[in-house]
Amino acid sequence: MIGLDTNVLLRWLIAPDEGDIGSNKSEMELVSEIIRSADSEFFVNPIVIAETTWILEQKLKLGRHVVCEVVDRLLYSVNIAVGDAEAVRGAREVYEAANIGFADCLIGRMNMQSGCSCTLTFDKKTGRSVGYRNISDERR
C-alpha cells in the first residue's frame, strides 16, 4: 500500500484527460500515470481528505455536491483505502446536509466514535450541528 499526500491526491483528481497529454509530462500527468500503472492500493487518511475538500471548496470554488462526489469516489474506489472510512462516510453525510466545513464534520464524527458526548466549539454555525456544543452558550 502506498500513502498519498494531499498535493498528489489533488493532482490525480484533477488530472487532464489522456487526450490532453503532450510530450512534456506535467505533475498531474505523472501522478495519473503512476496511479494507473501501479498494482498497489493507495491509502488516503482522513487529514488528507479534509485538506482536499477544503481546497476543492475554498480554492477551486467547487460546490458542496461536487465535493461530496469526490469523497464518494475516494470511499468507493477499488484501489483506494480510506483511513477511518466509517468516520469519513459519516462526515460526508453530515457535510452534505449541513452548512459547515468537511473538516468540522470529520472532527465531530471522529470524536463521537471515540466516545465523546459532544465536541465543544466557539464556532456558532458548527455549534448548532449534531455532536457539537457551542461553548459560548455555556456562559449564559
Single out the residue of 52, 113, 105 nearest to residue 121, CA to CA. 105
Give the confidence band of 18 by pLDDT, cuts at 50, 70, 90. Answer: very low
pLDDT at residue number 24: 45
The answer to whether residue 87 is domain-embedded is yes
Tens-digit pLDDT profile for residues 26-59: 776 776 677 666 677 899 999 999 999 999 999 9
Q: Which domain holds residue 79?
A: 2-101
Instruction: Please state the domain count of the chain.
Output: 1
The answer to whether residue 112 is domain-embedded is no
Cell of 2: 502506498
Is the pLDDT score of 17 beyond 70? Answer: no
Rounded to two decimals, the pTM is 0.81
The answer to whether residue 70 is domain-embedded is yes
Tens-digit pLDDT profile for residues 62-114: 999 999 999 999 999 888 999 999 999 999 999 999 899 999 999 999 999 99
What's phi and psi for 18, nearest 5 deg? -60, -30
The answer to whether residue 131 is domain-embedded is no
The answer to whether residue 121 is domain-embedded is no
